[in-house]
């Protein structure tokens, strides 16, 4: 093929791709109809609650016809108590649903006026329909827009539907495509869900017509919420996050690792020691910056748990042993937690842990500054392997230890380690165009300002923030209100955990760049967009109808907008970012500096 024909072929392929893309978009796009007026939406919930309480029903302030069926659901203790599917007339459907619930639930304890927590209602309104994407593996599973779209199937005059709130309750939105990344699933099992609905109609899947249905929810609590990023809102969020963690701390001092809001109980999962200590660090931060005695006591209980159950000997130093394994990350974050306790007030246990475990960290250091991340208990010798996060955590730990203990060996070790992490340790072809999860590295770099002069660290964290700035969503970039999250397209629901950890690091980067006299408007924007995203999705009070105990869930933070669980490090990273930026705003308001 000559050059001219090649150019024509490429242009033809590009034109065909564009045509096909626009065609698919045109036939699959749903332009949602308007939702009911606020007064009518409020009436719908009041009408349902009046039926439950035996009160006179209020008069509807108007009328509304949806673009599809309306699903009314009664929720109790995080689950579906009863549902009613009606036609497009909102007033008729809500009235019929109220009568249906009263008849079906009149003997149910959860329906009674004194039930605690009370029954909560949602009214999901059909706003439009469209076809599914073609039955191509991994494409069809991505057909549904999470939180916005459900599935409706029809066979003749019969219909069955799974609404977005039901799919969220079932955990369906991120279960369609497994991935090798822990805690990351994509899409929904569309064909299995269609098959379930077809069976509800007594049909085989090929005997029904299935379509996506866009629905809007009228619910008992606004979620997500728009919250302005202010010193007060950040401080309140961090305090409520600490209260959430303390509420679910076990009597022995360990933390609930994964709290399931839909059941109100711990979800079974392997316990993670670095996250135990990271959570303890945040709790101690809240006491340090806000003054919260119960948080300090919770942090000390968590440190006592480490001392009793996880401290062993590695050569001449204590170390953290977890099921026979020793690693630098567990020791480093325990030092971080202990030194945060000491930053407020001395404590013998915290001091003993900080002094002993920093000795272990220094003993793991190589001549080039890098650390050996594991230790062989049987051979009593370091294992020279490296894992994500551990070196950055250790650098931060050594710097915090130097701050409260004053041992110059910790500062020297941190300087060598930071030099390696931001210099030779990140020097390869393409290293200026790609970055990993470097949040602990840049948290450490922010901590080092004024004590260690490492231009490479400043340059590294500046470039890392600029790289993330390009990945940070702005308003309207996705179907969800996730401005401030990070991602590369509008298909996958963004995760909140990296928003918390990266934003925490960008606070340190902001302070570092400010210390160096650099322009900080850009990084400030990244920080405040990230903080806004975290405030928006925290449980304050959250989607209360999905919670078994809304009061117990208050202050938690899910892993994503379609997650009903809160892991302790979800709250820790977000909370550390909230409390640190609140303190930055306080300093700016008072005209002071650290």
Domain ranges of the chain: 40-218, 231-590
Give the Cα separation of 514 and 347 in Å (integer): 33
The confidence score (pLDDT) of residue 592 equals 80
Query: Helices marked H in 472-520 — which ranges?
Result: 497-515
Task: Decide if 565 contacts 263 (C-beta within 8 A).
Answer: no
The confidence score (pLDDT) of residue 175 equals 86
DSSP 250: -
DSSP 486: B
Distances 95 to 51, 69, 443 between C-alpha atoms, Å:
9, 15, 56
Give the Cα separation of 575 and 505 in Å (integer): 12
Residue by residue, DSSP assigns 70-90 as EEEEEEETTEEEEEEEE-SBH
The confidence score (pLDDT) of residue 433 equals 40
Locate the DSSP E strands across 131-208. 149-155, 158-162, 177-178, 185-186
Torsion-angle region of residue 394: left (phi > 0), alpha (psi -120 to 50) or beta?
alpha
For 74, half-sphere exposure in the C-beta direction (CA atoms, 13 angstrom radius) is 26
Which two three-digit tokens encode residue 25? 């978009």
Would you mind telling me the total number of residues written for the chain in this entry?
594
Burial call 422-443: b when 16+ CB within 10 Å, e when fewer: bbebbeeeeeeeebeebbbbbb
Locate the DSSP E strands across 131-157. 149-155
CA angle 352, 353, 358 (to 5 degrees): 105
Q: Which fold has domain 231-590?
A: Glycosyltransferase (1.50.10)
Give the Cα separation of 351 and 518 in Å (integer): 36
Q: Which residues contact 257 (CB under 8 A, 6 or more apart)?
A: 266, 267, 269, 270, 271, 272, 275, 567, 568
Distances 191 to 1, 102, 122, 137, 184 between C-alpha atoms, Å:
43, 35, 26, 11, 20
Among residues 225, 218, 221, 215, the alpha carbon closest in space to that of 38 is found at 218
Locate the DSSP E strands across 164-221. 177-178, 185-186, 209-218
Backbone angles phi, psi at 68, to 5 degrees: -175, -170
Give the Cα separation of 406 and 349 in Å (integer): 17
Q: Which residues contact 459 (CB under 8 A, 6 or more apart)?
A: 422
The confidence score (pLDDT) of residue 23 equals 40
Neighbour tally for 109: CB within 10 Å? 9
The confidence score (pLDDT) of residue 25 equals 46
Neighbour tally for 157: CB within 10 Å? 5
Which two three-digit tokens encode residue 409? 């060996």
DSSP helix/strand/coil, 309: helix
Q: What share of the chain is helix, strand, coil (3-state, %, to 5)?
A: 50, 15, 35
**Which residue do the tokens 């790609």 mark?**
434
Which two three-digit tokens encode residue 577? 């970012």
Give the Cα separation of 133 and 28 in Å (integer): 7
**Which residue do the tokens 């748990």 mark?**
305
Backbone angles phi, psi at 60, to 5 degrees: -70, 135
Give the Cα separation of 314 and 273 in Å (integer): 17
Give the Cα separation of 293 and 243 in Å (integer): 12
The confidence score (pLDDT) of residue 12 equals 55
Task: Decide if 319 contacts 331 (C-beta within 8 A).
Answer: yes
Pairing of strands 185-186, 79-86: unpaired
CA angle 67, 68, 73 (to 5 degrees): 125
The confidence score (pLDDT) of residue 576 equals 97
DSSP helix/strand/coil, 587: helix
DSSP 338: H
Task: Decide if 150 contacts 164 (C-beta within 8 A).
Answer: yes
Give the Cα separation of 471 and 530 in Å (integer): 12
Query: Sheet of 120-130: strands edge to edge?
Result: 79-86, 70-76, 120-130, 209-218, 149-155, 158-162
Task: Decide if 493 contacts 173 (C-beta within 8 A).
Answer: yes
Distances 67 to 156, 216, 479 between C-alpha atoms, Å:
19, 11, 20
Residues of the chain short of pLDDT 50, as ranges, are 6-7, 13-14, 16-27, 426-435
Among residues 476, 519, 497, 490, the alpha carbon closest in space to that of 575 is found at 497
Neighbour tally for 574: CB within 10 Å? 29
Neighbour tally for 184: CB within 10 Å? 14
Task: Decide if 156 contacts 177 (C-beta within 8 A).
Answer: no
């Amino acid at each position: 093929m000559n050059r001219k024909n090649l150019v024509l072929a490429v242009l033809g392929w590009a034109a065909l791709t564009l045509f096909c893309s626009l065609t698919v978009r045109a036939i699959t796009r749903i332009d949602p109809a308007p939702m009911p007026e606020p007064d009518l939406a409020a009436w719908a919930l009041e009408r349902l609650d009046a039926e439950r309480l035996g009160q006179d029903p209020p008069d509807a302030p108007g009328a509304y016809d949806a673009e599809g069926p309306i699903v009314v659901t009664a929720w109790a203790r995080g689950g579906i108590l009863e549902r009613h599917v009606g036609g497009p007339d909102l007033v008729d459907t809500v009235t019929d649903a109220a009568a249906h619930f009263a008849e079906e639930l009149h003997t149910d304890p959860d329906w009674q006026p004194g039930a605690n927590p009370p029954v909560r209602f949602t009214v999901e309104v059909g706003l439009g329909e469209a076809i599914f994407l073609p039955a191509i593996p991994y494409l069809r599973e991505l057909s549904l827009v999470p939180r916005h779209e459900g599935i409706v199937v029809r066979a003749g005059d019969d219909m069955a539907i799974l609404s977005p709130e039901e799919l969220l309750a079932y955990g369906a939105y991120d279960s369609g495509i497994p991935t090798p990344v822990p805690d990351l699933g994509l899409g929904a099992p569309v064909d299995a869900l269609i098959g379930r609905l077809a069976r509800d109609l007594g049909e085989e899947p090929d005997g029904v017509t299935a379509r996506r249905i866009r629905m809007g929810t009228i619910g008992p609590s606004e979620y997500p919420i728009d919250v302005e990023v202010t010193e007060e809102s950040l401080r309140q969020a961090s305090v409520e996050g600490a209260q959430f963690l303390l509420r679910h701390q076990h009597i022995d001092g360990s933390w609930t690792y994964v709290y399931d809001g839909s059941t109100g109980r711990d979800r079974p999962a392997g316990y993670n020691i670095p996250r135990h200590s990271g959570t303890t660090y945040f709790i101690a931060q809240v006491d340090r910056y806000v003054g919260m005695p119960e948080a300090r006591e919770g942090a000390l209980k968590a440190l006592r748990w480490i001392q009793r159950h996880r401290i062993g000997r590695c050569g001449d130093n204590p170390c953290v042993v977890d099921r026979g394994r020793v690693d630098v990350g567990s020791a480093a974050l325990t030092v971080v937690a202990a030194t945060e306790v000491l930053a407020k007030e001395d404590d013998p246990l915290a001091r003993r842990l900080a002094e002993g475990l920093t000795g272990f960290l220094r003993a793991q250091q190589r001549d080039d500054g890098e650390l050996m991340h594991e230790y062989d208990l049987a051979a009593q010798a370091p294992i020279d392997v490296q894992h994500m996060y551990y070196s950055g955590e250790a650098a931060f730990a050594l710097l915090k230890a130097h701050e409260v203990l004053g041992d110059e060996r910790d500062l020297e070790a941190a300087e060598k380690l930071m030099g390696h992490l931001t210099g030779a340790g990140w020097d390869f072809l393409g290293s200026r165009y790609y970055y990993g999860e470097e949040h602990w590295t840049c948290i450490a770099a922010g901590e080092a300002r004024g004590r260690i002069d490492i231009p490479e660290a400043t340059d590294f964290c500046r470039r890392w923030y600029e790289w993330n700035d390009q990945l940070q969503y702005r308003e309207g970039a996705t179907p969800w209100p996730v401005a401030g999250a990070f991602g590369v397209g509008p298909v996958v629901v963004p995760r909140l955990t990296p928003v918390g950890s990266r934003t925490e690091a960008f606070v340190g980067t902001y302070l570092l760049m400010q210390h160096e006299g650099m322009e900080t408007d850009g990084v400030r924007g990244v920080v405040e967009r990230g903080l806004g995203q975290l405030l928006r999705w925290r449980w304050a009070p959250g989607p209360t109808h999905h919670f078994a105990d809304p009061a117990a869930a208050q202050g938690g933070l899910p892993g994503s907008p379609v997650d009903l669980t809160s892991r302790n490090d979800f709250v820790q990273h977000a909370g550390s970012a909230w409390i640190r930026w609140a303190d930055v705003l306080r300093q700016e308001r008072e005209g002071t500096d650290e």
